Homo-oligomer: A and B are copies of this chain.
Amino acid sequence: MFLKNKIQLVLVILIFTVISSKAQTSPISNVKKSNKQEHPSLILTKVGVEKIKAQLGTVPLFDETLAKVKAEVDTEISNGIEVPIPKDFSGGYTHERHKKNFLILQKAGVLYQILDDETYAKYVKDMLLEYARIYPTLPVHPQTRSYARGKLFWQCLNDSNWLVYVSQAYDCVYNYLSKKEREHLEKDLFKPFANFISVGNPQFFNRVHNHSTWGNVAVGMIALVMEDDKLLETALYGLKTDNIDPNAKDNDGGFIKKKGQKVGFLANLEEPFSPDGYYTEGPYYQRYAMYPFLVFAEALQNVKPELKIFEYKKGVLLKSINTLLNLTDADGHFFPLNDGQKGMSYYSRELVSAVDIGYYFGGNKTDLLSIAKDQGEVLLDDTGLSVALGIRDGLETPFIKKSIDLSDGKNGDEGGVAILRANSTKRELSLVMKYSAQGLSHGHYDKLSFSLYEGGNEVIQDYGMTRFVNIQQKGGGNYLKENTTWAKQTIAHNTINQDETSHFGGEFETGSLHHSEKYVFDVSNPNLQIISAKEENAYPGTKMHRTMVLIKEASFENPYLLDIIKINAEHEHQYDLPYYYLGQLMTTNFDYIIPETLKPLGTKNGYQHLWNEAEGKSETSNAKVSWFNKQRFYTLTSLVSNEDDLILVRTGANDPDFNLRRDPGFIIRKKNNKDTYFISLIESHGHYDPVSEIATNAFSNILNLNMIFSNDEYLVISIETKNEQKSLFLFSIKDNLKTSKHQIKTQDKTYEWVGAYQLIKNY
């Protein structure tokens, strides 16, 4: 360990020497140097501050936010300054204290500017001096878990958070400080700090990853304050040299850097964002990265407008804000694709920034104002002021989330995520189907997986991650081992598992090479919305094709979801398809046996975490499972053979630290199949009021679900309701052209249609 660190140190010194000595041709220094910079200039600007002061007391949301922030900072000032020697993981005292410090410093800086009260400037100065006092002799953080340990925090990531915020505070009090004080702070704190998280940790800084985005932005922000163009260039384009081993991985199991990969802020903007503004790690991390992306973009726009950062990659940054807002349920919670902690929402401070900056720099789109109004606070800067003014003046329009298909990959050609939204009489049903690329180190092995929401409630859940962020009792608030052994595994998701193994063998390297392919996405008809995609690499030799259709028919209380999976394999396999419903099981229409003792469903690949609570077979061709959750009734009807195993499971096996929730699931298992189908239909069909004790529409409306025709090219599914209405869904498996004409002849009848699919009602 000691030896390793020593080698690392030598390496760092070497790199540093190389960089320092090398003559640079800086793209930044080519740009005509701006005049001597005013302060503040990054987020707050001199002009902006004057505008804000002129409006104080007349813009309710701004004034309220200001009062709240002032109260918060005043409390902290009265508590006194605490800059403890770093010691703890996230959730622990020193971690939380330093985190609070940077958040308060940024706010205090803003208050100084807006309120012209030197109390705040002095507080910032005193605390910065305290940091400058301890920083020069701080060793790396004593917690050793990270691949890139910080000094104030256990990871460079959090150190970077600190610098992103504190740069703003420094900018705000810049003119309050004497030249000597500034020199001291820059020499003893900011420059070594920026060096440590960049040159000192190339494996952290020179990546395409949300970590590096923070690192790049931290360096870039302080560079802008200090007017250090060379440092700014490092932020934008990364370190010239890093000697990173192309096989090296971080502690989440992600690759550090591919050979020849571009790095730095612009590369981090270029690569993980698709042209649609989808961030490949998923919405939880997109949210996390949005703050540095946007706050740095704002700063660049203010200080280096000639870079036209908001126009970069066809305006992807502004697009991404809209994308992120669309990746939420009816309550504003992000869909927990890949690693994502449930409960995170557009009420987070990162999204307050995003919405305000998006409004200000993105052409004042009035639907953003309604989100800002819900958020109930604004940034205390030009952007926040403009939002608060818009709200004051009643300009907001509803933010309507539409059905949307978001491409993944730098060029938008690596699959994607589709969201189908269908209004019901009660609440919106939202289907999220994932057919994206791996999603870097936070990606899950869940090709063609889905989750289903009704309003803000999960109907079929995505488990999310196994981590309790910043809750120290649970592994220091870090990723738990069950994130790897359960949450990332395929069986933890509502998609096909072959032979009880995960997609790509659960290998990150292989997964990172592939993505699914869209087959059809069409939401032009609100009564029939469809997403269909294929995955041919997750299990070599096996092709999977999933088609999900949200159908609104008059005889159903709510739209229903038709779910069709076609599998073609070279060899015989076992296929498991789980549906992780939430709530209490009401009934099944098949018999099952409950075991006397509960055993895990398997031994590895996530199966070891599932208790097998019951197992049965269906005597009819339709297996039905009904459940009840949050006063609503649901039924899954699935076309099965009497050979299929129908298994009721629950998470929590082999979970010694009780890290997993105890959630139920229903697995349909087809054994010894080469080519097969999984065809199911999910209804939300009634509700119960525990106060009136009235149950309405508590039963499924489906009499029979059947596949009345199938061959290599076509399939026809019939959906018969209890009042004997029948609909037919016709689907072309191989030809997705809108204009193609199709014909099927059965014994009874000939069907003809145009395009990949057709629904015939009242057949």
Measured in the bound complex, the distance between the Cα atoms of B145 and A298 in whole Å is 72
B585, B626, B693: the one within 8 Å of A469 (CB): B693
The answer to the question of A31 belonging to the interface, with a C-beta cut-off of 8 Å to chain B, is no
The closest CB in chain B to the CB of A627 belongs to B658
In the complex, chain B residues whose CB is within 8 Å of the CB of A694: 96, 470
The answer to the question of A347 belonging to the interface, with a C-beta cut-off of 8 Å to chain B, is yes
The answer to whether A698 and B597 touch across the interface, beta carbons within 8 angstroms, is no
Which of A471, A585, A611, A664 has its CB near the most chain B CB atoms (within 10 A)? Answer: A471
The answer to the question of A662 belonging to the interface, with a C-beta cut-off of 8 Å to chain B, is yes
The A682-701 residues at the B interface (CB cut-off 8 A) are: 688, 690-695, 698-699
The answer to whether B598 and A471 touch across the interface, beta carbons within 8 angstroms, is no
The answer to whether A691 and B597 touch across the interface, beta carbons within 8 angstroms, is no
Which of A50-58, A311-319, A338-346, A366-374 lies at the binding interface? A338-346
The A552-592 residues at the B interface (CB cut-off 8 A) are: 584-587
The A338-389 residues at the B interface (CB cut-off 8 A) are: 341-345, 347-349
Measured in the bound complex, the distance between the Cα atoms of B694 and A585 in whole Å is 34
Instruction: Knowing A586-B471, A695-B470 are in contact, say whether A343-B594 is a contact too (CB < 8 A).
Output: no
Q: Provide the A617-631 mask, 1 if CB < 8 A to any CB of B, else 0.
A: 000000000101000
The answer to the question of A599 belonging to the interface, with a C-beta cut-off of 8 Å to chain B, is yes
- A-B residue pairs in contact (CB < 8 Å), sample of 13: A91-B698, A344-B691, A348-B691, A348-B692, A349-B692, A468-B628, A470-B695, A471-B698, A473-B586, A473-B698, A594-B654, A614-B658, A650-B662
The answer to whether A471 and B96 touch across the interface, beta carbons within 8 angstroms, is no
The A44-94 residues at the B interface (CB cut-off 8 A) are: 91
The A680-726 residues at the B interface (CB cut-off 8 A) are: 688, 690-695, 698-699
B96, B470, B473, B598: the one within 8 Å of A611 (CB): B598
The answer to the question of A675 belonging to the interface, with a C-beta cut-off of 8 Å to chain B, is no
The answer to whether B693 and A470 touch across the interface, beta carbons within 8 angstroms, is yes
In the complex, chain B residues whose CB is within 8 Å of the CB of A698: 91, 471-473
In the complex, chain B residues whose CB is within 8 Å of the CB of A348: 691-692
The answer to the question of A655 belonging to the interface, with a C-beta cut-off of 8 Å to chain B, is yes
The answer to whether B594 and A656 touch across the interface, beta carbons within 8 angstroms, is yes
The answer to the question of A674 belonging to the interface, with a C-beta cut-off of 8 Å to chain B, is no
Measured in the bound complex, the distance between the Cα atoms of B184 and A492 in whole Å is 66
The answer to the question of A474 belonging to the interface, with a C-beta cut-off of 8 Å to chain B, is yes
In the complex, chain B residues whose CB is within 8 Å of the CB of A91: 695, 698
In the complex, chain B residues whose CB is within 8 Å of the CB of A473: 586-587, 626, 698-699
The answer to whether B586 and A474 touch across the interface, beta carbons within 8 angstroms, is yes
The answer to whether A345 and B586 touch across the interface, beta carbons within 8 angstroms, is no
Shortest beta-carbon distance, A151 to chain B, in Å? Answer: 22
The closest CB in chain B to the CB of A654 belongs to B594
Measured in the bound complex, the distance between the Cα atoms of B408 and A299 in whole Å is 70
Shortest beta-carbon distance, A233 to chain B, in Å? Answer: 33
The closest CB in chain B to the CB of A611 belongs to B598
In the complex, chain B residues whose CB is within 8 Å of the CB of A481: none
Nearest 7 CB-CB pairings of A with B: A343-B690, A598-B598, A585-B658, A473-B586, A597-B597, A473-B587, A469-B693
The answer to whether A341 and B693 touch across the interface, beta carbons within 8 angstroms, is yes
The secondary structure that dominates the A interface is: loop
In the complex, chain B residues whose CB is within 8 Å of the CB of A654: 594
Q: Provide the A480-498 mask, 1 if CB < 8 A to any CB of B, else 0.
A: 0000000000000000000
The answer to the question of A661 belonging to the interface, with a C-beta cut-off of 8 Å to chain B, is yes
Which of A96, A664, A694 has its CB near the most chain B CB atoms (within 10 A)? Answer: A694
The closest CB in chain B to the CB of A345 belongs to B691
Shortest beta-carbon distance, A678 to chain B, in Å? Answer: 23
Measured in the bound complex, the distance between the Cα atoms of B692 and A349 in whole Å is 7
In the complex, chain B residues whose CB is within 8 Å of the CB of A344: 690-691, 693
The A613-665 residues at the B interface (CB cut-off 8 A) are: 613-614, 626, 628, 648, 650, 652, 654-658, 661-662, 664
The answer to whether A661 and B470 touch across the interface, beta carbons within 8 angstroms, is no
The answer to whether B584 and A661 touch across the interface, beta carbons within 8 angstroms, is yes
Q: Provide the A530-570 mask, 1 if CB < 8 A to any CB of B, else 0.
A: 00000000000000000000000000000000000000000
The closest CB in chain B to the CB of A288 belongs to B693
In the complex, chain B residues whose CB is within 8 Å of the CB of A596: 599-600
The A473-519 residues at the B interface (CB cut-off 8 A) are: 473-474, 477
The closest CB in chain B to the CB of A664 belongs to B662
Shortest beta-carbon distance, A723 to chain B, in Å? Answer: 14
Shortest beta-carbon distance, A626 to chain B, in Å? Answer: 6
B347, B349, B594: the one within 8 Å of A655 (CB): B594
Measured in the bound complex, the distance between the Cα atoms of B214 and A135 in whole Å is 78
Shortest beta-carbon distance, A148 to chain B, in Å? Answer: 20
Shortest beta-carbon distance, A124 to chain B, in Å? Answer: 22
Measured in the bound complex, the distance between the Cα atoms of B627 and A661 in whole Å is 12
The answer to whether B585 and A471 touch across the interface, beta carbons within 8 angstroms, is no
Measured in the bound complex, the distance between the Cα atoms of B75 and A422 in whole Å is 27
Measured in the bound complex, the distance between the Cα atoms of B473 and A596 in whole Å is 24
In the complex, chain B residues whose CB is within 8 Å of the CB of A611: 598
The closest CB in chain B to the CB of A348 belongs to B691
In the complex, chain B residues whose CB is within 8 Å of the CB of A600: 596
In the complex, chain B residues whose CB is within 8 Å of the CB of A472: 695, 698-699
The closest CB in chain B to the CB of A346 belongs to B691
Which of A349, A626, A698 has its CB near the most chain B CB atoms (within 10 A)? Answer: A698
Measured in the bound complex, the distance between the Cα atoms of B91 and A698 in whole Å is 9
Measured in the bound complex, the distance between the Cα atoms of B151 and A61 in whole Å is 63
Measured in the bound complex, the distance between the Cα atoms of B599 and A657 in whole Å is 19
In the complex, chain B residues whose CB is within 8 Å of the CB of A96: 694-695
The answer to whether B471 and A342 touch across the interface, beta carbons within 8 angstroms, is no
Given contacts A471-B586, A662-B664, 11 further A-B contacts (CB under 8 A): A341-B690, A344-B690, A344-B693, A348-B691, A469-B693, A470-B693, A471-B688, A472-B698, A473-B698, A594-B654, A596-B599
Q: Provide the A83-116 mask, 1 if CB < 8 A to any CB of B, else 0.
A: 0000000010000100000000000000000000
The closest CB in chain B to the CB of A689 belongs to B343
The closest CB in chain B to the CB of A100 belongs to B694
The answer to whether B471 and A628 touch across the interface, beta carbons within 8 angstroms, is yes
The A109-152 residues at the B interface (CB cut-off 8 A) are: none
Measured in the bound complex, the distance between the Cα atoms of B130 and A205 in whole Å is 82
Measured in the bound complex, the distance between the Cα atoms of B626 and A587 in whole Å is 34
